[in-house]
């Protein structure tokens, strides 16, 4: 690294290198691209979730909501799954 680069990085207020910014922005934008490019993605995730959860409890499949939500610097998978009852066997 050239001396000038080191100095300018030292004195500039943002110390994150632009490549790290590029990488994080890319990750973020790709999660979205990949999810929105295929609407089947969320649907098949939904189906798989239902399959697994049904082994443990009764749920309202119609009322189930699964979404990707944007936050400032991250993406969250948010699921809202109304439970209608528990299986006795699951507690045993």
Toward other proteins, which CB reaches closer, 36 or 84?
Answer: 36
Toward other proteins, which CB reaches closer, 33 or 48?
Answer: 33
CA distances to 11, 78, 87, 92 from 61, rounded to whole Å, are 56, 16, 16, 25
Closest distance to other proteins from the beta carbon of 77 (Å) = 19
Closest distance to other proteins from the beta carbon of 27 (Å) = 6
CA nearest neighbour of 80 among 55, 92, 62, 54: 62
Closest distance to other proteins from the beta carbon of 9 (Å) = 8
> Interface with other proteins by CB under 8 A: which residues?
1-2, 5, 17-20, 22-23, 25-27, 29-30, 33-34, 37-38
CB-CB neighbours of 92 under 10 Å? 5
Q: What does the alpha-carbon distance between residue 24 and residue 71 come to, in Å, rounded to a whole number? A: 14
């Amino acid at each position: 690294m050239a001396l000038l680069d080191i100095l300018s990085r030292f004195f500039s207020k943002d110390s994150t290198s632009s490549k790290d910014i590029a990488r994080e922005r890319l990750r973020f934008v790709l999660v979205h691209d990949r999810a929105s490019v295929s609407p089947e993605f969320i649907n098949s995730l939904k189906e798989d979730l239902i399959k697994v959860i049904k082994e443990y409890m009764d749920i309202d499949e119609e009322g189930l909501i699964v979404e990707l939500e944007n936050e400032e610097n991250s993406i969250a998978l948010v699921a809202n799954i109304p439970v209608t009852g528990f299986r006795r066997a699951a507690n045993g």
